[in-house]
């Protein structure tokens, strides 16, 4: 059986569900300085053909959703730049290197997958970790760009 055409499975500008993890799972990330640095970096992402949607910063890892245009910077280069940018903030806070695990986890959301359902799972991470009672009480989360999905599971 032939697989379906890629455009029938994925978006033209795919949404990636990304996870970046701190080396040794040290608790370095859940603070106002790292949060501000992440927001500043991701607000500039459209210059490189990347739009960042929702994100959650946990003490030892970051989850975020990002869409890449066909003309965008390579995913691995963008992640490397993000890690380097956040490492500057971590160094300024006295965190010793290495800061990051090698690589990152990524998954492309297929058309039939729901961004909203994936976000619901991610936003509940602080609750499952026992950090807050309600996801909206976690201060280290947000949304940079709005990924609105239409009824046909395409992005508008």
**pLDDT tens readout for residues 50-62:** 999 999 999 999 9
DSSP, collapsed to helix, strand or coil, labels residue 144 as: coil
Whole-model pTM: value is 0.86
At 75-93, the pLDDT tens digits run 999 999 999 999 999 999 9
Predicted confidence (pLDDT) at residue 30 exceeds the cutoff of 50: yes
Q: Does residue 2 lie in a domain region?
A: no
Average pLDDT, the chain: 87
Domain range for 74:
10-131
* 124-137 residue pLDDT tens: 999 999 999 999 99
DSSP letters, 58-111, are -SSEEEEEEEE-TTSPPHHHHHHHHHHHHHHHHHHTTPPSP-B-SS-EEEEPPT
Statement: residue 152 has pLDDT above 70: no
For residue 127, give every residue at least 6 positions away whose Cβ sits within 8 Å of its Cβ, in sequence order, or none.
133, 134, 135, 138
In a domain, 31, yes or no: yes
Residue 50 resides in a domain: yes
Domain count, the chain: 1
- Whether the predicted pLDDT of 117 surpasses 70: yes
> How many other CB atoms are there within 10 angstroms of residue 68's CB atom?
21
């Amino acid at each position: 059986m032939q697989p379906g055409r890629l455009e029938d499975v994925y978006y033209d500008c795919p949404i990636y569900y990304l996870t970046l993890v701190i080396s040794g799972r040290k608790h370095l990330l859940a603070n106002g300085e790292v949060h501000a640095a992440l927001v500043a970096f991701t607000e500039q992402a459209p210059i490189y053909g990347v739009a960042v949607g929702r994100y959650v910063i946990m003490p030892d890892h970051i989850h975020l959703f990002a869409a890449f245009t066909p003309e965008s910077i390579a995913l691995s280069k963008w992640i490397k730049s993000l890690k380097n940018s956040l490492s500057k903030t971590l160094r300024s806070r006295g965190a010793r290197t290495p800061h990051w695990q090698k690589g990152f986890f990524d998954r492309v959301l297929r058309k039939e997958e729901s961004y909203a359902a994936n976000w619901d799972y991610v936003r509940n991470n602080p609750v499952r970790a026992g950090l807050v009672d309600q996801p909206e009480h976690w201060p280290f989360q947000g949304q940079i760009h709005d990924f609105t999905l239409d009824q046909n599971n395409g992005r508008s």
